[in-house]
Copies of this chain bind each other. A is one copy, B any other.
Amino acid sequence: MSREPSEKRAEVRVHVTRGWYKNEEPDSLKTPHEPGVKARATPKLSSSQCDSTVTVFEQEHFQGKCQEFTSECCNIQQCGFDNIRSIRVQSGAWVGYEHHDFQGQQFILERGEYPRWDSYCGNLSYHVERFLSFRPIYCADHQNSRIMIFECENSLGHSAKLCEDYPSLQAMGWGGTEVGSMHVQCGAFVCYEFPGYKGRQYIMECERHNGAYQHWRNWGSHSQTPQIQSIRRIQQ
């Protein structure tokens, strides 16, 4: 990006990349919650309908061998890579995994640049520098995303329906640091161990397991506790 001053204050360089997003106001990024936009809500999207492109690099800072993908890769070592050490997401939302065949720690990857392992890894107690498989995430448009969380496993106990981003479940009224089970009714969410979208990440999708995650051991092959303190929607 050029650092030179410009007089073009009112001009916005906007690439329209999402169904619900319309650049009608020259000086703003319009939000999905404005009534005018809500009324034009697009049908549910899935990654198969959207452009999803990612470029992975064998070395940090986008160096070394690289390859572009538009669909899942179950083992990057079969493509001649030793490991993935930096990522550039051009479009779509992706999930990366520590091990091949979508096993181990999960990392949400949205559009942008990830120059080192610590720019995407959430769990630092357990230092992960392996990244061997990845796939696009099946999302809904933002207004329709919906997840139920339950106090106990098997959808029992106190519950709450979430349709927004929640950097602190406790601040929103949830009575503890744990979630027993979840049911994604529409879209996809990322759940985090700590408030403020920190710690272990769990990707929860309506289009996998029928959206039902009845026990914390089903949240991923790396799940070790039912602790969840923040949850947000995944955007395509």
Contacts and interface: CB of A to CB of B under 8 A. Distances in A.
Interface in A200-222: none
A27 B236 CA distance: 27
Interface string A186-198: 0000100111111
Contact of A12 (B110, B124, B159, B167): B159
A110 B168 contact: yes
A137 interface: no
A194 B120 contact: yes
A112 B195 contact: yes
Contacts of A27: 159-161
Interface of A: 1-18, 21, 23, 25, 27-29, 31-33, 35, 89, 91, 108-114, 116, 118-125, 150-178, 180, 190, 193-199, 229-230, 232, 235-236
